[in-house]
Structure 1
């Protein structure tokens, strides 16, 4: 049987060689190292008490909010750290400005943000720039010996990871995380209610022991 040359038109720059995407393993491994470093530098992580100056005013009630929310915020940042390292495509980073609207999605009504501000486009090629910058500031905060610097750097780093990671995470995963977070918060609130009852009727004081980190 006679064979005929393929005369199908191809776009300019076409190559018959399949392009292999770069491996994610180096980035994912580096994200594990950054998670370890972030946990080391952040502990103890009590941002509400830091913001309200409980070290000076002895507002022990602020640790109630830290016990409930700080662990959830920090460990979500660990997941977002991994998610950022696993990105295969660029994502637009936006900042919600408030307001919401109702839309029909997957057969159900959902409330979505109606307005947001575009901040920048995060490209996967920028990962190593962000990772090196994060590692550098965390090492500085860990070994500089300044408690105030540690708190500022940790809070800024966690906020930055949340900003990138929230945009990098699919909506279905965020919905799954929120459902499990509600169950987690419910259990923690019950535990705090029991602790408050023991403190009221049994003379038990549920104190945090301070939010300042001891360095030796």
Structure 2
């Protein structure tokens, strides 16, 4: 005789499992946060902020590194923002800070490269998403409307770093590998463009610019 399974002993009969909440509200909120982050972050030049902290001391070369890496860091944080919002309701992601070298391990039948030394920070649960989202929105509003440029830089940099920490942990290895391949292609194009610009600047300085003045771009 067939028996009816005991609901208490069956892990698939809970209401949250049978009727998972929609991801659309979180994903829509993440898009609003992306817009707010872009608004408060631009211009995003953290390397220049770090190396030339005052208006009276400039190193023009820092703009090169900002052009190569800062845009990638910012737009990757946009993806991580959306990725975090798209985690399923039952997901829990351990967020850690890599400290050492990497090693190769077999996970789920696949060979993966993992950090051999890291510091555990906290366990992110998707049920806490709205707390993080409201906190991020408050930080970004403060950064945009505080009127302090130094405060804007600090808050934006911390927000991007936080998204990287959480988003990197929440993103599958295959997606991260794909992102890295696209980033290398993007950097290759930018480096070629900078080589062309540097060569043309030298040519223009010797033949078309009075006194060989350097062309500055800000």
- Is TM > 0.5 for Structure 1 vs Structure 2? yes
Range with bigger deviation, 11-20 or 129-138: 11-20
Aligned to 2:85: 85
Aligned to 1:155: 157
Per-residue Cα deviation, 1:26-66 (whole angstroms, up to 9, x for no partner): 00000000000000000100000000126331111100000
CA distance in 1, matches of 2:169, 2:198: 38
User: For 1:74-153, what aligned pairs fall within 5 Å after superposition?
Assistant: 74-88=74-88, 89-103=91-105, 111-153=113-155
Q: Cα distance, 1:200 vs. partner?
A: 1.6
Per-residue Cα deviation, 1:97-131 (whole angstroms, up to 9, x for no partner): 11222446799976432121211100001100000
Range with bigger deviation, 196-205 or 93-102: 196-205
CA distance in 1, matches of 2:170, 2:128: 14
Name the TM-score, length of structure 2 as normaliser: 0.86
Name the TM-score, length of structure 1 as normaliser: 0.87
CA distance in 2, matches of 1:153, 1:86: 24
Aligned to 1:71: 71
CA distance in 2, matches of 1:133, 1:202: 50
Structure 2: 5+ residue stretches without partners:
none
Distance verdict in 2 for CA 1:174–1:70, change over 3 Å? same
Runs of 4+ in 1 over 6 A off after TM superposition: 105-109
Range with bigger deviation, 196-205 or 175-184: 196-205
Distance verdict in 2 for CA 1:113–1:16, change over 3 Å? closer
Secondary structure, counterpart of 1:57 in structure 2 = coil
Distance verdict in 2 for CA 1:107–1:188, change over 3 Å? farther
8 Å Cα contact 1:196-1:206 kept in structure 2: no
Answer 1 or 2: higher relative contact order, Cα 8 Å, separation at least 6.
1
Distance verdict in 2 for CA 1:63–1:10, change over 3 Å? same
Secondary structure, counterpart of 2:103 in structure 1 = strand
Distance verdict in 2 for CA 1:104–1:206, change over 3 Å? farther
8 Å Cα contact 1:27-1:85 kept in structure 2: yes
Aligned to 1:198: 200
Aligned to 1:207: 216
